[in-house]
């Protein structure tokens, strides 16, 4: 059964809003699949199709109407970021063709936001689709019946982990996810490292190269590999620039492009400007560990790897990020570290709510008291392989 956390929000969009529905996400995360399932009767105009692209590039409502077979309905502009001015095309539909409800998709958030922000100001609402969450994976595999937001709900509600019998092997599933990730295609091609290696060019660089956003693809690939080796570590732009022989500004811009293309994400430090708290350098994570492992060409079993702890941390942070977004929990994500070495992997912050200090460990153990001693209105939680999915 194909089901995603975004189903309800997307299917109900036009009953609540008149604004354009913008669906963003990396290539191959299932944007077109979810739209065709929810809006099967829509007109689909795929910008990858050269004649359609040429017609849309004329930016003429009369030409646009000729592409459609009816005088109204829903139109999906798929991969709109390939147009020279995607915002202008969307604005024509919204302002001059009001009989049509418009949905647009794109895998390069940078290009869409850069060129459509002014044209579509007040006319669009963005939705983000990520690789599968663990909950989506389990439901699609038939191992669970309904989607959930565990473990985010447990953190927010302060639930204690308990032993719950499962019909499936949680450890085996986790180990497979840590190595091969959660791209939707992995549902039908489990443990397929060849697919993931080939995904690098199509997911990571295709749009960025086509849109002339990378002057040096080789340096960009080397940078992304360095980031893959140091998931969960602090990002030092000057240090990375020195290793690659390029400028620190270029490093920072490339990292921003990788973020805006939904390849990686960064979290910033939590600080109330106390002198001994690190307050500048971000930490980097990958949205999908399968893609990360393909970048470093390492698909060895978890039990034999020196980076198993880093992978588990990346998995938990990315999972919580998905549930926080899909479930509209509204928490901001930070980490906390002092110059003397005290550290909390993740700090969840929300106005008028207690801080949640999350430590991510392979095995359950006592929490670090340094953060709660400094921030008494906070609660400390350990997420381990024993309790992450109960």
* Percent of the chain whose predicted confidence (pLDDT) is above 70: 94
What is the domain partition of the chain in residue ranges?
7-128, 140-383
What is the pLDDT at residue 208? 77
265-315 pLDDT tens trace? 999 999 887 777 776 889 999 999 999 999 999 999 999 999 999 999 999
What is the pLDDT at residue 166? 65
Distance CA 136, CA 182 (A): 9
161-195 pLDDT tens trace? 555 556 788 899 999 999 999 999 998 888 889 99
DSSP 161: P
Distance CA 217, CA 206 (A): 11
Statement: residue 387 has pLDDT above 60:
yes
What is the pLDDT at residue 101? 96
User: 61-75, 87-101, 133-147, 268-282: which range is least confident on average?
Assistant: 268-282
Q: Does domain 7-128 have CATH number 3.40.50.300?
A: yes
ω before 151 within 30° of 0 (cis)? yes
Angle at 267 between CA 265 and CA 269, to 5 degrees: 165
* Percent of the chain whose predicted confidence (pLDDT) is above 90: 68
Distance CA 80, CA 103 (A): 10
> Mean pLDDT over residues 97-124, rounded?
81
Which residues of 137-199 form beta strands (DSSP E)?
Answer: none
Distance CA 275, CA 279 (A): 9
Mean pLDDT (the chain) is 90
R_g of the chain computed on alpha carbons: 22
């Amino acid at each position: 059964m194909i089901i995603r956390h975004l189903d309800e929000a997307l299917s109900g969009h036009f009953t609540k809003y008149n604004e354009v529905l913008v669906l963003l996400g990396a290539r191959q995360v299932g944007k077109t699949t979810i739209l065709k399932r929810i809006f099967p009767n829509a007109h689909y105009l795929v910008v990858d199709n050269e004649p359609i692209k040429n017609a849309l590039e004329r930016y003429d409502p009369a030409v646009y109407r000729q592409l459609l077979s009816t005088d109204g309905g829903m139109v999906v502009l798929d991969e709109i970021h390939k147009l020279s001015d995607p915002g202008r095309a969307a604005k024509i539909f919204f302002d001059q063709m009001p009989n049509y409800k418009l949905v647009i998709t794109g895998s390069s958030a940078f290009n869409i936001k850069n060129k459509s922000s002014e044209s579509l100001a007040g006319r669009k609402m963005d939705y983000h689709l990520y690789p599968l969450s663990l909950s989506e994976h389990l439901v699609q595999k038939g191992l669970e019946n309904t989607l959930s937001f565990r473990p985010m709900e447990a953190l927010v509600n302060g639930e204690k982990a308990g032993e719950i019998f499962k019909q499936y092997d949680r450890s085996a599933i986790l180990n497979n996810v840590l190595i091969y990730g959660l791209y939707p295609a992995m549902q039908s091609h489990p443990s397929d490292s060849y697919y993931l290696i080939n995904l690098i060019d199509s997911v990571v660089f295709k749009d960025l190269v086509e849109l002339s956003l990378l002057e040096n693809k080789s340096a960009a690939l080397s940078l992304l590999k360095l980031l893959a080796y140091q998931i969960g570590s602090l990002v030092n732009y000057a240090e990375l620039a020195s290793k690659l022989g390029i400028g620190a500004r270029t490093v920072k811009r490339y990292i921003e492009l990788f973020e805006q293309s939904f390849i990686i994400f960064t979290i910033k430090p939590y600080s109330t400007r106390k002198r001994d708290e690190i307050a500048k350098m971000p930490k980097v994570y990958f949205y999908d560990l399968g893609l990360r492992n393909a970048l470093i060409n390492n698909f060895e079993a978890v039990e034999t790897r020196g980076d198993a702890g880093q992978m588990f941390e990346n998995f938990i942070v990315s999972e919580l990020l998905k549930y926080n977004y899909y479930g509209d929990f509204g928490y901001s994500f930070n980490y906390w570290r002092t110059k003397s070495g005290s550290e909390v992997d993740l700090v969840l912050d929300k106005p008028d709510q207690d801080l949640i200090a999350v430590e991510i460990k392979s095995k359950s153990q006592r929490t670090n008291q340094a953060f709660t001693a400094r921030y008494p209105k906070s609660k400390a939680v350990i997420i381990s392989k024993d309790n992450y999915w109960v």
